[in-house]
Chain A
């Protein structure tokens, strides 16, 4: 895991994002316990409260469950939720593309054409 100090992204979000990726890609398996908050804090050289907040973030997103006195384990990831996560990512990327198209002065028509062309290429390969 990499923690960057000067990107503007809060450290707890960097941790939760990277752990989330590991969970969604299956690197961290269902039922597996995450490292304890104090040992992760020690290893990453950050404060305990920051790691705690990262874990709470993951818990709020339903990816892990906290057990009093035992730590946090990875929840079973149902396919519906995985799909939902991916859909959100697609949506975000498209929004970015739209914003870039605005700056470049492209019309909606041109943008959809471009998407269609790219899709065609994809299928041909």
Chain B
């Protein structure tokens, strides 16, 4: 499907000693929520840091928004970024966090910040609690609140769901949907996650990163048409193994992900075809590419 992009990247490259992030073409669709999925150490945070302007020692070109702005310093006011670790000083109180964000960003709404803190139950309402005394989940909520209280056009969230409880993950999904709706197609969200199934109902576009390369990407509905979940009987397992993209079998039967274009080759076998979940697709793709590396 055609789309306009909010962030465009060309030949993004960052070399480490044993690892290279190498993305020849990179586009985040505008007006949608995009998930970045990948193994530990696949390069998700490196990519996130490059996009957010935290890391500037990379090669390649990045352009932001409709204006094709290239200077990341200039777009920082329009981007809301949260990191996986804590970046507020531990001795700051919630009230001080509010003041500092107010100083740092022009379009920070202090009223809105207090409102969100109240809704999310961060601290005791008076804002005197220090960051050090907050739990991991509440620290993440505080960082999200500081970002959502600003007028932004794009959110970059690095692992926002990880420290949150199931209730709050649901809340996070709803916050993302509300953010997208309020922008009416002009606001976009890009987040990395390991909790694919928790975030599936808010993911529009998915990128899978493996060993520093994007190995698969697309709109979720398109991916679900490309990859199908197939289940069959044990007697067909050996033949099916040759065709399937990912395969797991037991003495009772087998199941696996099949590329839609290969489905014809299973003709004659007693198989049931289902729509795969995003998380099943991600696991299959990740397995396929890890396997490749291990045998090489």
Chain A interface (Cβ < 8 Å from any Cβ of B): 8, 10, 12, 36, 38-39, 41-42, 45-50, 53
Contact = CB atoms under 8 A, between A and B. Distances in A.
Contacts of B202: 47
B180 interface: yes
Interface string B190-206: 00000000001111110
Interface in B198-247: 200-205, 219-221, 224
Given A12-B221, A53-B221, A45 B177 contact: yes
B178 A49 contact: no
A12 B201 CA distance: 12
Nearest to B224: A10
B254 interface: no
Among B173, B177, B185, B205, chain A packs the most CB atoms within 10 A around the CB of B177
Interface of B: prevailing SS? helix
A46 B201 contact: yes
A45 B219 contact: no
A45 B178 CA distance: 10
Given A8-B275, A10-B275, A12-B221, A47 B181 contact: no
A49 B221 contact: yes
A107 to B, nearest CB: 29
Given A10-B275, A41-B180, A48 B221 contact: no
Interface string B12-39: 0000000000000000000111000000
A42 B177 contact: yes
B220 A41 contact: no
A48 B201 CA distance: 9
Contacts of A48: 31-33, 177, 180, 204
10 contacts: A38-B180, A38-B181, A38-B184, A42-B174, A42-B181, A47-B200, A47-B201, A47-B204, A48-B33, A53-B221
B168 to A, nearest CB: 15
B69 interface: no
B173 A45 contact: yes
B177 A41 contact: yes
Nearest to B181: A38
B174 A47 contact: no
Contacts of A46: 201
B274 interface: yes
Contacts of A45: 173-174, 177, 201
A39 B181 contact: yes
A36 B177 CA distance: 13
Interface string B249-290: 000000000000000000000000011000000000000000
A98 B203 CA distance: 42
Given A36-B184, A53-B221, A47 B203 contact: yes
B120 to A, nearest CB: 18
Contact of B32 (A10, A36, A39, A49): A49
